[in-house]
């Protein structure tokens, strides 16, 4: 009888066995599924974006490869203004990155003028500065911002490091 009592008390002192429920509609912040929101929609090894603008008021929300009947593909990017103030001018850039994460070439997109608060704009660009090899990737980032809050321009060395880190997250298959 004493042995049975000791064994039952021993089992009660163990921590509960937690089971991760993949259908839980309320994941905790430490849940692996919460990492899916760090990258823009459509990001994969072929096309992705890096957060070069430190303010996070301007956010690249989606990237895509627009395949055409006749190659080469064009590349699309969606950028949104999450700030309460309009942005006078915004310049995005597309960088072609090789397998090792090194930037081969950079091409600026046409400037976006008067981006209103909570507005999302889509831009599409054909890459004409270099030949995009089958293992190359296209990376979008914010190059320059002019607004009432002040002007900002990206630094190429910092962008290259951000791209190298992001390329490591999306290895070429």
Could you tell me which of 75, 44, 74, 39 has the C-alpha nearest to residue 60?
A: 39
Buried b (16+ CB within 10 A) or exposed e, 157-173: eebbebbeebbeebeee
Q: What is the pLDDT of residues 48-90, one digit of tens each?
A: 999 888 777 888 889 998 887 777 888 999 999 888 889 999 9
Q: What is the pLDDT of residues 13-56, one digit of tens each?
A: 555 555 556 566 665 544 444 444 466 787 888 899 998 887 77
What ranges do the domains of the chain cover?
Answer: 36-169
pTM score of the predicted model: 0.74
Could you tell me which of 7, 24, 46, 13 has the C-alpha nearest to residue 173?
A: 46
Domain 36-169 -> CATH class: mainly beta
């Amino acid at each position: 009888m004493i042995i049975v009592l000791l064994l039952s008390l021993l089992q009660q002192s163990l921590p509960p066995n937690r089971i991760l429920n993949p259908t839980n509609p309320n994941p905790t912040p430490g849940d692996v599924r919460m990492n899916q929101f760090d990258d823009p929609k459509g990001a994969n090894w072929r096309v992705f974006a890096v957060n070069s603008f430190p303010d996070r008021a301007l956010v690249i929300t989606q990237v895509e490869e627009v395949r055409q009947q006749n190659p080469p593909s064009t590349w699309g990017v969606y950028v949104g203004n999450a700030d309460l103030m309009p942005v006078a001018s915004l310049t995005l850039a597309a960088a072609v990155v090789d397998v090792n994460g090194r930037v081969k070439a950079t091409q600026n997109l046409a400037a976006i003028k008067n981006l209103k608060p909570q507005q999302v704009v889509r831009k599409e660009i054909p890459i004409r500065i270099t030949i995009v090899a089958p293992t190359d990737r296209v990376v979008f980032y914010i190059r320059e911002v002019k607004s009432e809050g002040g002007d900002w321009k990206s630094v190429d060395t910092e962008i290259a490091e951000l791209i190298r880190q992001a390329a490591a997250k999306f290895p070429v298959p």
